[in-house]
Amino acid sequence: MLFRVILGIHLTAIAAWLGGMLFFLLVLRPASKKMIYPEISRGIGRIFQEVSEISLWVIIGSGLLLSLNRLLLANIQASYLVVLVVKVGLVVWIVLIAMNVWGRVSRARPASEIKPSIANRILRVVWSTNTQLILAVVVIFLAEILRVIYNRSL
Ligand code: HEM
C-alpha cells in the first residue's frame, strides 16, 4: 500500500517534470530563439526552472524511498540491483544536465554571444535538453524492466 502511494507521487512528479521539459523544448526554446517577447520567455523560463527543479527532487526522493522499500522488504535479485544502479547513474546525468540548463536560464545569454568549437559542440550535445529527454525515455524503460524483474521474483 505504502509502495503504491510513493509510486503515485513518483509518477505524478515525473509527469510534471516531463510536461515542463516538453513545454521548454517545443514552446519556450523556439520562442526565445526567435527572440519573441524575450522578457516574457525569460520569466516563463524561470517558472519552468522552479517546476522542473521541485519535480526532479520529488522524483529522486520518492525514487529513493521506492528503492529502500524494494531492497528492504523483498528478496531482490542481482539483476534488479544492476538495472537500478544503471537507472540511478542515468538520473545523475539528467540532474547534471538540469543544473547546467538552470544555470543557463538564469544567466539568459543571447545565443549570438556563443561561438562554440567542435569540442564545445559535442559537450553541448552531451549536456543538452534533447539528451535529457532521450535519457528520460531510457530511464522509464529501465523502470519497466525493474517492475518485470520484481514481478518474476515473486
Ligand atoms: C528522471 C528520473 C526518473 C524517472 C523518469 C523514473 C521513472 C519511473 C517509472 C515510470 C516507474 C514506474 C514503473 C512501473 O511500475 O511501471 C518508476 C519506478 C521506480 N523508480 Fe523511478 N524514475 C526516476 C528516478 C528514480 C530514482 C532516482 C530512483 C532511485 C533512487 C528510482 C527508483 C525507482 C524504483 C525502485 C521504482 C519501482 C520499480 C519496481 O517496480 O520495482 N527512480 N520510476
pLDDT mean for each 10 residues of the chain (154 residues): 95 94 83 72 80 94 96 85 97 90 58 70 83 95 96 87
What is the number of structural domains in the chain?
Answer: 1
Predicted pLDDT at 114: 59
* Ligand 1 atom closest to Cα of residue 147: 40
pTM of the model: 0.85
Ligand 1 binding pocket, CB closer than 6 Å: 10, 14, 59-60, 63-64, 66-67, 70, 88, 91, 94, 136, 139-140, 143-144, 146-147, 150
- The residue among 128, 124, 143, 5 whose CA lies nearest residue 62 is 5
Give the structural domain span for 95.
2-152
Predicted pLDDT at 42: 76
